[in-house]
């Protein structure tokens, strides 16, 4: 009942977000979801791009220091999210 109109609306109104690219893997999606919690997408996207260039996978991110991660988090707000991502990356690679 609602599926067809919803898909039509999305086709007309979808925003071109970097993490919607078909080559974006689970790590990129996880970062985008956590970064987007209570933070406008317009602020998230440039930081997400920087993070993906710097830490393209959980293994590279898990080697980062908490200070480095917090500096890279910048002004996204709620910095505990960054530290939780660091913990998550450590769990993924262990």
Give catalytic residues, as residue numbers. 33
Q: Where are the alpha helices (DSSP H) in 1-94?
A: 3-13, 26-35, 41-54, 58-62, 66-73, 80-93
Contacts (Cβ under 8 Å, ≥6 apart) of 87: none
**CA gyration radius, the chain:** 15
């Amino acid at each position: 009942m609602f599926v067809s109109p919803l898909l039509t609306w999305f086709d007309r109104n979808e925003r071109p977000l970097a993490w919607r690219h078909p080559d974006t893997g689970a790590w990129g999606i996880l970062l985008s979801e956590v970064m987007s919690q209570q933070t406008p997408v317009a602020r998230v996207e440039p930081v997400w791009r920087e993070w993906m260039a710097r830490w393209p996978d959980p293994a590279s991110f898990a080697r980062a220091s908490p200070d480095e991660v917090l500096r890279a988090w910048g002004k996204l707000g709620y910095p505990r999210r960054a530290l939780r991502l660091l913990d998550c990356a450590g769990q993924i690679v262990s």
